[in-house]
């Protein structure tokens, strides 16, 4: 068996297992740690796809900054262990319905997918590099890229306005 293919299968199994542990873990801190492992395995998939820049950005941004933020928020929250059973059962039923619907949609999309064959004569080793990614972002996806930047700007202004204290207001 090809070593790259066996590494792909290993990474895929580890990704699915860690993603399941994110959902099934009772402790929210363990769930965040499993999510970090999921992000690292996804970065391994990016490397296998020859997208090294996306792999590094995924590790720095998601596994680094955002997951640390999630971990701090979970640690600062006072999570109560005693929840009502009816709310927990309703949440489980709703989760099963949403998960089943998502599975049906993904399976339908998988059946319609055409996977192109590999042609070594047309292989471009520079396809996942930052220069080609920048050309694609600013040529083919310019409008969504600019809309995302405006959305982030509005979110920053909103966060500053929500965090701004009034003159006479005190927080104890």
Is 119 part of any domain? no
Q: Which two tokens stand for residue 69?
A: 């933020």
Domain carrying residue 161: 131-165
Nearest alpha carbon to residue 45 among 1, 17, 10: 10
- Taking only the tens of pLDDT, the chain with its 172 residues reads 788 889 999 999 999 999 999 989 888 888 888 988 999 999 999 999 888 888 888 888 888 888 777 777 777 765 655 445 566 778 788 888 988 898 898 888 888 877 777 777 877 777 767 788 788 888 888 888 888 888 888 877 877 777 666 666 665 5
Number of folded domains that form the chain: 2
Q: Are 48 and 5 in contact (CB under 8 A)?
A: no
pTM over 0.85: no
Is 27 part of any domain? yes
Instruction: Give the number of other CB atoms < 10 A from CB of residue 41.
Output: 19
Same domain, 6 and 67: yes
DSSP three-state, residue 160: helix
């Amino acid at each position: 068996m090809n070593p790259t293919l066996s590494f792909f299968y290993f990474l895929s199994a580890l990704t699915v297992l860690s993603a399941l542990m994110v959902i099934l873990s009772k402790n929210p801190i363990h769930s965040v740690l499993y999510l970090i492992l999921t992000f690292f395995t996804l970065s391994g998939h990016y490397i296998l796809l020859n997208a090294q820049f996306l792999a590094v950005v995924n590790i720095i941004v998601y596994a680094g900054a955002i997951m640390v933020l999630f971990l701090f928020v979970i640690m600062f929250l006072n999570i109560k262990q005693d929840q009502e059973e009816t709310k927990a059962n309703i949440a489980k039923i709703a989760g099963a319905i949403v998960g089943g619907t998502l599975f049906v949609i993904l399976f339908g999309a998988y059946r319609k997918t055409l996977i192109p064959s590999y042609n070594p004569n047309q292989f471009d080793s520079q396809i996942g590099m930052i220069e080609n990614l920048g050309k694609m972002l600013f040529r083919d996806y310019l409008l969504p890229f600019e809309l995302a930047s405006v959305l982030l700007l509005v979110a920053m202004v909103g966060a500053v306005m929500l965090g701004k204290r009034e003159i006479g207001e005190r927080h104890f």
